[in-house]
A and B are shown apart, each in its own frame.
Chain A
Amino acid sequence: QSALTQPASVSGSPGQSITISCSGTSSDVGGYNYVSWYQQHPGKAPKLMIYDVSNRPSGVSNRFSGSKSGNTASLTISGLQAEDEADYYCSSYASSSTVIFGGGTKLTVL
């Protein structure tokens, strides 16, 4: 199992929107609507931000949204804020009852 492909880094200025992509195959991202996104600040545990491609858990800002097209999922953060600076990881259910993560994307708020 190879990790899902994410850009190593993205950046944006406060108030702008950014999108992080997560590319997989038809055996994971493209085959199931079970993509999740996690935010991780340095030294902290990850936090669930999006599940099942586009659903937000209670308490997560509506500035965070998710989508999927074919084998690629995306996380969009609108109205960028300083506290959004963190690492972001996608994950997907894969065949044989396993889960695969992306390599992670470091978001820098300029």
Chain B
Amino acid sequence: EVQLVESGGGLVQPGGSLRLSCAASGFTFNNYAMSWVRQAPGKGLEWVSVISGSGDNTYYADFVKGRFTSSRDNNSKTLYLQINTLRAEDTAVYYCATVGSSWSIFDYWGQGTLVTVSS
């Protein structure tokens, strides 16, 4: 059974940093690209990034503007999202998801981790 478990969220002050993690199990992790998708409270889904199965290629949404870095450790089957210079508008539930045969297919999702940016 595919399982994705995010962690690392919490309350952080504006300008601070966080590293989110997504622990994967139940599938061959390095065979799959992975994405981060976020959802602000009461708002819609917003794609954040995708990283290839090898980790060699990453792509980001325009709003990231160099503040976010996605990485992965295929040995420990863990996906990461480093978020720097946090802003109030980054407040959201951050989901990790497996990517299917095309990059708009998110087959399996974690339960999400909440990031709250507030002073």
Mark A residues whose CB is within 8 Å of B.
1, 3, 32, 34-36, 38, 40, 45-48, 51-52, 57, 89, 91-93, 96-104
Contact = CB atoms under 8 A, between A and B. Distances in A.
Contacts, number: 72
Query: Which 3 pairs of residues, A with B, have the shortest CB-CB distance?
Result: A45-B109, A104-B44, A99-B47
B74 to A, nearest CB: 21
Q: Which of A34, A51, A99, A100 is the most central at the interface, judged by chain B CB atoms within 10 Å of its CB? A: A99
Interface residues on B, range: 20 to 34
Given A89-B45, A98-B59, A51 B50 contact: no
A93 B101 CA distance: 12
B104 A36 contact: yes
Interface string B31-59: 00001010000001111001000000001
Contacts of A46: 37, 45, 95, 106, 109
A38 B106 CA distance: 9
Contacts of B102: 32, 34, 51-52, 93
A94 to B, nearest CB: 8
B106 A101 contact: no
29 contacts: A1-B61, A34-B104, A34-B105, A35-B104, A36-B104, A38-B45, A45-B110, A45-B112, A48-B100, A51-B102, A52-B101, A52-B102, A52-B105, A57-B107, A89-B45, A91-B45, A91-B47, A93-B102, A93-B103, A93-B104, A97-B59, A98-B62, A99-B103, A100-B47, A101-B37, A101-B45, A101-B47, A103-B44, A104-B44
